[in-house]
């Protein structure tokens, strides 16, 4: 969430009394934890908190990595120095809450709200009920499975089953949250294993469907596409440790999803052997344009985008998909590259024009760029013992991911040229 620019803004001329220092420390530590919890960007957390420290007339250093922050704060001449370590269990992406945190930062910086008042408002945001309940989240899982299935180009029966399995994945997730510590520590492995096993058994009862593909559709929301693209961005901005941790976490999530999928399908096929499904053949592009808004709405719900901003996600997503479609006419990776550039640009424009966090658009839309079709084709080739074509398809997947990373980086640079406002803040 690009909220402030640490290189701008004058410090507030506030008295250096103990009460002001203590209130500022409470606000700053709560702010750092809130940004990390709702937005999950170590670089942006560092930049925003550094600026707030400066504005409040304090000095400090911050080390922000995923789920952990170390804050050292003091006044002039090292008086009242304090060190605070904050940890969070995991990022719970919530763009609506992140936007409210952004508003609090702006109010504190302008002096409309004191640090003590800002601390109270941050606690109110944390205690507020979730914007979307379980019923809407369940609908979002169904729409995500259906929308991603249409993009993959599978049959309408596969699309429907992918959506139903997505709904079941949400149910398994709820049960995992209430289960013991072992299951709760490996939710992706547990969920993917159960869903893949159900998909394999469904393939026995309904010959002709693609168990592997419908499993991918059901698990699409767990694919760490944003983590894989966020990691290089952190490294480029100089936060090497954060980038490595983001990439490692995303890699392990991917491995757990793959392992659970293959174990689940293996168990189902061992119990009830079935014929290997035919490769995917594609779908009429017209239907993709119809179903993309459903996928974007589902992603918006799951990332906590407020209802009055969902239209922004849809518009930006359609622009990105237009770029992907155009780029694909030139080669297998050009579509992802053009789409990523447009994503970074449209996210910057939307954030600047409507005063929202950058992630409001970036998070829900980036999942559209995941090379799902090519990835599934690679899995099919390996499953059919076509090793050389499978390796070639895997290299194409890697090339697409690299194109997405480069495209987002280029788009971020282009969008940043006009990203600085007169008052020294950015989107």
Whether residue 329 is found in the same domain as residue 419: yes
- Out of 222, 245, 279, a domain closes at 279
- Out of 109, 127, 145, a domain closes at 127
Specify if 179 maps to a domain: yes
Q: How many helices (H) and strands (E) does the chain have?
A: 17, 3
Whether residue 157 is found in the same domain as residue 226: yes
Residues forming beta bridges with residue 346, ordered by sequence position: none
pLDDT in tens, 191-246: 999 999 999 999 888 887 888 889 988 998 888 766 666 677 677 766 777 778 77
Whether residue 231 is found in the same domain as residue 91: no
Q: How far apart are CA 356 and CA 309, in angstroms?
A: 9
Specify if 3 maps to a domain: no
Q: How far apart are CA 162 and CA 311, in angstroms?
A: 25
Number of domain units in the chain: 3
Specify if 300 maps to a domain: no
CB 104 within 8 A of CB 122: yes
Whether residue 78 is found in the same domain as residue 166: no
Specify if 111 maps to a domain: yes
Higher pLDDT, 250 or 183: 250
Whether residue 40 is found in the same domain as residue 23: yes
- Out of 68, 99, 127, a domain closes at 127
pLDDT in tens, 298-311: 999 999 999 999 99
Range of the domain at 55: 18-127
Whether residue 310 is found in the same domain as residue 395: yes
Residue 6 is predicted with a pLDDT of 37
CB 126 within 8 A of CB 67: no
Show the CA angle centred on residue 372, arms to residues 169 and 404, nearest 5°: 120
pLDDT in tens, 113-138: 999 999 999 999 999 998 999 999 99
Whether residue 264 is found in the same domain as residue 323: no
Whether residue 135 is found in the same domain as residue 273: yes
Specify if 289 maps to a domain: no
Whether residue 195 is found in the same domain as residue 104: no
Residue 57 is predicted with a pLDDT of 85
- Alpha carbon distances (Å) from 418 to 43, 109, 310: 20, 22, 24
Whether residue 101 is found in the same domain as residue 162: no
Which among 156, 100, 50, 72 has a CA at the least distance from the CA of 355?
A: 100
Residue 315 is predicted with a pLDDT of 95
Residue 332 has pLDDT above 60, yes or no: yes
- Model pTM score: 0.83
- Transcribe 334-383 into DSSP letters: HHHHHHHHHHHHHHHHHHHHHT--THHHHHHHHGGGS-HHHHHHHHHHHH
| Count of alpha carbons within 13 angstroms of residue 174, beta-carbon side | 11
Whether residue 116 is found in the same domain as residue 148: no
Confidence of residue 372 (pLDDT cuts 50, 70, 90): low
Whether residue 221 is found in the same domain as residue 106: no
Strand 68-74 with 59-65, pairing: antiparallel
Specify if 104 maps to a domain: yes
């Amino acid at each position: 969430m690009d909220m402030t620019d640490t290189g701008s803004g004058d410090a507030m001329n506030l008295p250096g009394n103990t009460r002001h220092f203590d209130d500022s420390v409470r606000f700053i530590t709560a702010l750092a934890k809130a940004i990390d919890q709702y937005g999950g960007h170590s670089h942006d957390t560092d930049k925003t908190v550094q600026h707030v420290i400066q504005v409040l007339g304090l000095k400090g250093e911050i080390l922000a990595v995923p789920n952990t922050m170390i804050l050292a704060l003091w006044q002039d001449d090292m008086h009242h120095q304090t060190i605070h370590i904050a940890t969070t269990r995991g990022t719970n992406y919530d763009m609506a809450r992140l936007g409210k945190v952004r508003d609090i930062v702006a109010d504190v910086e302008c002096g409309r709200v004191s640090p003590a008042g800002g601390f109270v408002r941050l606690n109110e945001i944390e205690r507020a009920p979730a914007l979307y309940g379980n019923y809407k989240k369940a609908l979002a899982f169904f729409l995500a499975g259906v929308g991603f299935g249409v993009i993959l180009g599978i049959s309408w029966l596969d699309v429907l089953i992918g959506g139903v399995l997505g709904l079941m994945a949400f149910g398994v997730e709820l049960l995992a949250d209430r289960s013991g510590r072992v299951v709760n520590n490996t939710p992706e492995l547990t969920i993917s294993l159960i869903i893949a096993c159900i998909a394999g058994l469904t393939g026995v009862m309904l010959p002709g469907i693609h168990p592997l593909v419908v499993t991918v559709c059901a698990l699409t929301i767990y694919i760490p596409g944003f983590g894989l693209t966020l990691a290089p961005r952190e490294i480029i901005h100089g936060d090497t440790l954060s980038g490595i941790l983001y990439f490692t976490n995303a890699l392990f999530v991917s491995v757990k999803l793959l392992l659970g999928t293959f174990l689940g399908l293996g168990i189902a096929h061992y119990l009830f052997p079935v014929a290997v499904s035919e490769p995917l053949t594609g779908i009429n592009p017209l239907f993709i344009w119809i179903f993309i808004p459903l996928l974007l709405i589902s992603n918006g719900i799951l990332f906590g985008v407020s209802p009055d901003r969902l239209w922004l996600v849809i518009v930006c997503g359609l622009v990105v998909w237009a770029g992907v479609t155009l780029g694909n006419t030139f080669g297998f990776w050009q579509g992802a590259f053009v789409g990523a550039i447009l994503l970074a640009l449209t996210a910057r424009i939307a954030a600047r024009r409507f005063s929202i966090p950058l992630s409001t658009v970036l998070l829900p839309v980036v999942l559209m760029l995941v090379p799902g079709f090519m990835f599934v084709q690679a899995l099919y080739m390996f499953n059919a013992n076509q090793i050389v074509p499978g390796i070639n398809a895997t290299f194409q997947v890697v090339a697409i991911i690299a194109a997405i990373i480069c495209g987002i980086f280029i788009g971020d640079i282009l969008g940043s040229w006009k990203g600085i406002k007169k008052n020294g803040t950015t989107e």
